[in-house]
Structure 1
Amino acid sequence: MNRTALVTGASSGIGEATAKALLADGYTVYAAARRLDRMAGLAAAGVRPIALDLIDDASMVAAVEKILGETGRIDVLVNNAGYGSYGALEDVPLEEARRQFEVNLFGAARLCQLVLPAMRTQKGGRIVNVSSIGGKGGEPFGAWYHATKFALEGLSDSLRMELIPFGIDVIVIEPGAIRTEWGGIAHESMLRMSGDTAYGPYARRHARLHERAGTRMASPPEVVARIIARAVASKRPRTRYPAGGGARWILLIQRFLTDRMQDRLMWRVSQGGA
């Protein structure tokens, strides 16, 4: 039986690595992103690039219809696309906050809506939502990003229960620090939004933390891709998988610290031990 997978945010990083991993496992893989030109390498390897914009409903509908028209099924949806726009909550315009929710949460939810009828007809499927360790705890200047990931975690838990009768599973992946474009985007937005405001001295220190995390403790995206491929292949996958970049240890530490202890620890780390 030919198995089909749709991977979003596949022009680089975790999405690109996941598309390659699922292709190697025998899937017909559709790699989705806004810019098709950035997926020429995937196309050469046998992956099928498809244009997809998570803030354009018509784009999402067209992508899913194209896949179903060509293969007749969608077995795996990997909701990987997302970004981290940082800055003090007081400084970030609500327009930017809403856009981050559109991409990180509502886009993923809409794709779930679009693929679920086919998965129910097939009597099976896997939805993989790429969250973050940031879906379990906050950090200074990341309020909106963390809010999207907390929301994605809650959405995933509720959806997983709803889909029990249909044999469809929902899996959450919680990456730590990963060597992708994400860190650069978060760093730039933090400085742009708050680098010269009342929060400036603190935001600039925290931006340096993102730089250090991106070089010292970050794992390659292939680490996350292997975990996604393993989870999809499992007959009974776990509901959550920490992945790379110290994720397992950070999540473990959070379980044993009070909120105030976590606040103090995160602030000290944020400010370089200041």
Structure 2
Amino acid sequence: MARILITGTSKGLGRATALELVRRGHEVIATARKVETLADLPVAKRLALDVTNDESVRRAVAQAGPIDVLINNAAEIAVGPLESIPFEEVHRLYDINVFGTLRMIQAVVPGMRERRSGTVVNLSSVVGRAALPLTGIYCSTKWAIESLSESLRIELGHFGVRVVVVEPGTIGTGALDAPRSFFGANDPYAPLAASQKHVPREEMTPPETIARKVADAAENPEKQFRWPAGADAEALLAARAKLDDKSFDVALRSAFKVDW
């Protein structure tokens, strides 16, 4: 049994992961900005945690005690063309998705390093390896998670601490139902948005399926570094590894119906 802290467990993948790890017998510490949203989770401990706030991170990690596995799940998404998405939104996404992950790493990793054991699971995305139009800022945050994780894996491996990355495809959590959107009146990119394929939620990978992959990665970090999660992610990342840039661009446009 491991003592596992998960960020962003109020809903979606974080909640599903908490439930999966409890089912497997682990001691789960669930966290969210509003701790009352965790009241019905059958976990060992529920903590208030805002990953964008240094003091909140420090306080939550102190309350959690020694952590065997850190799962960095908290993230948000926004949609809009790169030329016009507001910089305050760029800052907001990076503060949650990237700096929030780094805050948690800096707060938890020293204890793991001193004990010479532990695992860091960073939730990336298939778009951390294959970016899509109109989600460029979100994609770039996940590319940042990929590079941070690659560097961290080498730095911490010396001390017996493992780092893994989970790369889900589309998840049926509802996060894409009404994302924060930034399009102007008569936006020149509206035809691009309209042309893209929108996968119905019922055709997306259920969060419980992705949660099982996250749990597998947490339990078996020595098996591999990158863990694609979901059939769509596995297929897309296999194509990314096999094709040159030009051929992959053609395949990507076809898969996502990007007529642009």
TM-score using structure 2 length = 0.92
What aligned pairs does 1:45-194 form with structure 2 within 5 A after superposition? 45-68=42-65, 73-186=66-179, 189-190=180-181, 192-193=182-183
2: distance between equivalents of 1:195 and 1:213? 26
Could you list the runs of 5+ residues in structure 2 that have no partner in the other structure?
A: none
Kindly provide the amino acid, as one letter, of the partner of residue 245 in structure 2.
D
**Counterpart of 1:4?**
3
2: distance between equivalents of 1:151 and 1:100? 12
The CA deviation at 1:136 is 0.5
**Counterpart of 2:34?**
35
Q: How many residues align?
A: 260
Kindly provide the amino acid, as one letter, of the partner of residue 240 in structure 2.
Q
2: distance between equivalents of 1:99 and 1:21? 30
The CA deviation at 1:245 is 4.6
Q: 1:232 to 1:271 in 2, by over 3 A?
A: closer
1: distance between equivalents of 2:115 and 2:31? 22
1: distance between equivalents of 2:202 and 2:259? 18
Kindly provide the amino acid, as one letter, of the partner of residue 201 in structure 1.
P
1:7, 1:78 within 8 Å by CA — same for their partners in 2? yes
The CA deviation at 1:273 is 5.5
2: distance between equivalents of 1:17 and 1:195? 38
Residues 74-99 of structure 1: CA deviation (Å, up to 9, x unaligned): 00000011111111001201111111
Q: 2:201 aligns with which of 191, 214, 230?
A: 214
Kindly provide the amino acid, as one letter, of the partner of residue 225 in structure 2.
T
Q: Which consecutive aligned stretches of 4+ in structure 1 deviate over 6 angstroms post-superposition?
A: none
The CA deviation at 1:200 is 1.4
Structure (1 or 2) with the greater helix fraction: 1
Could you list the runs of 5+ residues in structure 1 that have no partner in the other structure?
A: none
2:116, 2:159 within 8 Å by CA — same for their partners in 1? yes
1:177, 1:213 within 8 Å by CA — same for their partners in 2? no
Counterpart secondary structure, 1:183: coil
Residues 163-194 of structure 1: CA deviation (Å, up to 9, x unaligned): 012110001000011111321243xx34x435
TM-score using structure 1 length = 0.88
Q: 1:199 to 1:273 in 2, by over 3 A?
A: closer
1: distance between equivalents of 2:158 and 2:134? 41
Sequence identity, in percent? 37
2: distance between equivalents of 1:229 and 1:118? 22
Q: 1:235 to 1:180 in 2, by over 3 A?
A: closer
